[in-house]
Amino acid sequence: MTTADAFETPDLMLALPEIWLLAMACLVLVVDLFSKDRDHTPAFWLTQFALVSTALITINVQWGVDATTFSGTYVADAFGTILKVAALGLGFLGFAYSRDYMRDRGLLTGEFYILSLFAILGMLVTISAHNLLTLYLGVELMSLCFYALVAMDRDSPRASEAAMKYFVLGALASGMLLYGMSMLYGTTGSLDLATIREAAATLEDNRILFLFGLVFMVVGVAFKFGAVPFHMWVPDVYHGAPTPVTLMIATASKVAAVGLFLRLIGEGLEPLIADWQQMIALLAVLSLLVGNTVALVQTNIKRMLAYSTFNHMGFIFMGLLAGAPGGYGAAVFYAVTYAMTVAAAFGIVLLLSRKNFEADQLTDFRGLNERSPLYAFIMLLLMISLTGIPGTVGFYAKWLVLKATVEAGFVWLAVLAVVGAVVGAFYYLRIVRLMYFDKPEGVGPQPTGSGGFRAVLTVNGLAVLALGLFPGALVAICMAAFAP
Amino acid sequence: MLESSWPLLSLLIWLPILGGVVVLALGDDREELGRIVALGTAALTFLFSLGLITGFQSGTAAMQFVELRSWVEALNVNYHVGVDGISMPLVVLTTFSTLLVMIASWRRVTVKPAMFQACFLMLNGIMVGVFSALDAILFYVFFEVMLVPMFLLIGIWGGANRIYATIKFFLYTFIGSVMMLVALVYLQFQAGGSFHILDFYGLDLPLNAQIWLFLAFLLAFAIKVPMWPVHTWLPDAHVQAPTGGSVILAAIMLKIGGYGFVRFSLPVVPEASMTLDWLMIALSLIAVVYIGLVAMMQQDMKKLIAYSSIAHMGFVTLGFFVIFAIADRTGGSGMLLALEGGMVQMISHGFISAAMFLCVGVLYDRMHTREIADYGGVAHRMPVFAGFFVLFAMANAGLPGTSGFVGEFMVILAAFQANFWYAFAAATTLILGAAYTLWMVRRVMYGEVANDEVAKLEDVDRRELTVLAVLAAAVLWLGLYPAPLIEIMEPSLENLLEIVAAGL
């Protein structure tokens, strides 16, 4: 390379997953435009094909690679591959579960697929970003699509309110993120994460300004996670958005948020770990305390899952702040398995919902064991997995995080977290109790949904058990991704 | 370590769990077949568990029937099981009690019978797993997963206030066990990444850390035992649980707490155990005396037996933690006696409490009440049953010749060598125990026939008779000839004392 301005031909193959997904999203747009099918069947199948094929391409092209392209603005590496495949898989689950629900409510439009695909594309870009601007581009692409998706049910005042709230607060968070980035750029003169990392290691005069930037960025990231005290939007958005959109926000976007954290703070600002560790610890503590306590009194399952998210975000933060290979590996494992479990839980809510009826009250679960032992059992697995009982994957997630936290010297935080888990046990058990011990008022909602939906949901639910019994492979993959 | 030629312990763990899945799959429609499969599985498991006794080498403290396979390789977690003289009798007790429960609840349950039996079978496998796990994480997995079937058992088939009781039970035990998880993670870190329980022994930990670990273990195991003041879940759970659930709860689950103390607290953190032994002795004596008094005031038979269980388990913890005081006084002799007393008491209590709860179950099946006041003069109508009931009541009160006497006597004798007042307080149980049990017997069994309901009672049938006779034989055998049991346990307990002494 002679000068910095010299033009290199970028290695397009390395970024093939994003390119392919973009092309597919455009194809869906065109096909849907000309399709006469009222159920948007071609769009559905094309979307699912796009997600699966992108996942396969990602594994083929990016697993085991550690390289950058587009002049260092795009990076492909092992943990990125895991997060991308998880995001794509969660998108697949979301579409599989949502078809009947959206059709019954007149929301099954081509835009649903296209906006969701672009949101997922935004996640992939975020996860692979190696430059502040690419990162911001990915985050905004994801967020803007989500704002629109939340508002899809435009006749519902609750959805509109949720979308408004999400948009305003999300824009504020993006502003924070951008402001922090500008300070980093101001001190280092570079947008490249590798350069920023080098500069962070040798800070002298600009340390204060740099740390200010760090604080703003942590705030922005915490908004995207929905961590306490930047959580105000979460319950309203979860509650107000159509359930399939809630599913996407609750699962795939959390995986992307982990990617955002790991790229921006974990990788770019790694030399300042002593500074951000304390901030993240504070966020973790607040998330563990507030989320749990408020979740106790919810009667709507979507709100309950929203508040319980904070508890899990607290756990993910614990993994992240432990740094080093073990902590990041634990956080990725936690995020992926948590998202998978919650996706199935929303799947059950969608399964019980019918036309003009939302099965989102806790009381709708009364006596589910009588009506459908299989789905009651799957919900039992999901709830005990979220509680962290062994035999389900949630236990390993919690344990890996605790292990990393204890090894990083934060024993007090580990103790606090397990106390939080006990509080969590109470509201998760309440669902088990309703399903198994109580009798329904009247007949109670029956499981609906097509065969394909049920099959995917069953596999998703049983995977929580299977991974709980044999977590070895997934743990090994997550740990290997961060091995030095 | 003695490797096993074929995986007997795995068989004992997975056969009942598999049987439970089969019973569940058969469903309530094929109830009769499911019942036979359930009973067959329980019987087969018990028969296989006898292989542990015949194949056991009693002269050694080494782990036997060991199986070691990698489970989660990335984290160094192994599927590692094995038993020594401490855990082997408890494993057999588990399979034995499950078989009895299966016989005792034969055709008694009409609501979701398949799920009911499946829960018991799975519990059987899981509890064998708890006693035989040699990997800390494997232990934790079994320890915790056990809560789920028990939660359902109490919640679905329990009494009127079952939901409150089962949630209380779950949350109580869950808070205890999560603290232990943090302790285990810490220990693994200290032990250089190994989760092998025996690798935790002899770690050179500072006293400060030991005390925190001890408290974490204490919370987990004290809630399981249960010790005063964290015992309040037990009376609720027992009263609300179906008979079979009470039997398993009293006969085995409480033992897991005691087992935890000898497997973890004493050998892993001996210095903290010694430092805090006053606390353990105090709590044990409060359980013996105060809970004994509480038991006397109960109007509900199950509640009375539940409280008496707490009092009797006080002897177990007293036996385990009085050893340091004995060592101070005598320099060592008597320590073994205390540990053996505690262990014998655990096994004996397993038989007696199971028998007592089954007796109450026999009455409850007929009268649908557990209130002592609703009974009176039952012996007139059920003479055979009355005979058994009185025998078990005597055993509960610690009558010489029954198993209840042996363990308590050994512990009292050992406690004498530590401090007269310890022994004195413990010995009050002989009076209190006799008072509350015999008073209950008098009010339920003797006197005039209390009402028309009692007048219509029929004596035990053959199924009930079998169960009670087997338990009576066990109670008497252990009471008259405890030597074989002690012989099995002794090397392992001696070894434990050496580990404790080395750690001080």
pTM of the model: 0.87
B148 in A contact zone (CB under 8 Å):
yes
What is the secondary structure of A58-103 as a DSSP string? HHHHHTT--EEETTTTEEE-HHHHHHHHHHHHHHHHHHHHHHHHHH
Which two three-digit tokens encode residue A74?
């795009």
Centroid of chain to Cα A420: 21
pLDDT at A47: 92
B87-109: average pLDDT: 86
Mean pLDDT, chain B, whole residue set: 85
pLDDT at B3 over 80: no
pLDDT value of position A338 = 93
Average confidence (pLDDT) over B272-295: 88
Asked if B21 is an interface residue toward chain A (Cβ–Cβ < 8 A), one would say no
Which of B75, B162, B174 faces A425 most closely, judged by CB atoms?
B174
| Residue of chain B with shortest Cα separation from A420 | B175
Among the ranges given (B43-57, B98-112, B139-153), the one the predictor scored with the smallest mean pLDDT: B98-112
For residue range A467-480, list pLDDT tens digits in order. Answer: 888 888 888 888 88
Mean per-residue pLDDT over chain A, rounded: 87
Report residue A6's pLDDT band, with 50, 70 and 90 as the boundaries: low
Is B186's Cβ below 8 Å from some Cβ in A? yes
What pLDDT sits at residue A62? 85
Q: Residue B203's closest CA among B192, B214, B219?
A: B192
Reported as a pLDDT band with limits 50, 70 and 90, residue A147 is very high
| Interchain contact, A414 vs B185, CB within 8 Å | yes
Confidence at A2, pLDDT banded by 50, 70, 90:
very low
Segment holding B80, helix H or strand E: strand B77-83
**pLDDT number for residue A5:** 58
pLDDT at site B107: 73
- Residue A406 and residue B170: Cβ atoms within 8 Å? no
User: Can you tell me whether residue A440 is helix, strand or coil?
Assistant: coil
| Option in A426, A436, A472 nearest B71 (CB) | A472
In tens, the pLDDT along B358-406 reads: 888 888 888 888 888 888 877 888 888 888 888 898 888 888 888 888 8
* Res A341: pLDDT: 93
pLDDT in tens, B401-456: 888 888 888 888 888 888 888 888 888 888 888 888 888 888 888 878 778 777 77
pLDDT on residue A186: 87
Q: Which of B141, B170, B175 sits opposite A390 (nearest CB)?
A: B141
Amino acid at B47: L
- Residue B297's CB: how many other CB atoms inside 10 A? 10
Beta bridge partners of B81: B67, B133
The pLDDT tens digits for A222-257 are: 988 888 888 888 888 988 888 889 999 989 999 999
Q: Are B15 and B44 in contact (CB under 8 A)?
A: yes
- Residue carrying the six token digits 């049920």: A454
Across B305-312, average pLDDT: 88
Q: How many CB atoms lie within 10 A of CB A127?
A: 30
SS3 assignment, position B72: strand
Average pLDDT of the residues in A323-345: 89
The closest CB to that of A425, out of B71, B162, B170, belongs to B170
Sorting pLDDT into bands at 50, 70 and 90, what band is B62? confident
Q: What is the mean pLDDT of residues A99-126?
A: 89
User: Residue B2: its pLDDT value, please?
Assistant: 58
Closest-approach residue (CA) in chain B for A480: B74
Tell me the H-state helices in A105-225: 110-128, 132-150, 157-188, 193-201, 207-225
Residue B356 has pLDDT above 80, yes or no: yes
Has residue A1 got a pLDDT over 70? Answer: no
> Looking at residues B333-358, what average pLDDT do you find?
88
Count Cβ–Cβ pairs < 8 Å, chain A vs chain B. 85
Model pLDDT for residues B214-270, shown as the tens digit of each residue:
988 998 888 888 888 888 888 887 887 788 888 888 888 888 989 999 988 888 888
Mean pLDDT of A262-279: 86
Beta carbons of A422 and B147 less than 8 Å apart: no
Burial class (CB in 10 A: 0-12, 13-18, 19+), A478: buried
Confidence (pLDDT) at A143: 92
Q: What is the pLDDT of residue A135?
A: 92
Higher pLDDT pick, A441 / A319? A319
Cβ-defined contact of A406 to B189 (cutoff 8 Å): yes
User: Is B140 close to A390, i.e. CB distance below 8 A?
Assistant: yes
Q: Could you count the other beta carbons within 10 Å of the beta carbon of residue A358? A: 19
Higher pLDDT, B16 or A205: B16
Inter-chain residue contact A414 with B188, CB threshold 8 Å:
no
For chain A, positions 402-431, list CB contacts with chain B under 8 A. 402-403, 406-407, 411, 414-415, 418-419, 421-422, 425-426, 429
Task: Please check the confidence at residue A463 and state whether its pLDDT lies above 60.
Answer: yes
Longest CA pairwise span in chain B (Å): 69
Percent of chain A with pLDDT strictly greater than 70:
98
Burial of residue A165 (CB within 10 Å: 0-12, 13-18, 19+) is middle
- pLDDT over threshold 90, residue A137: yes
Quote the pLDDT of residue A3.
46
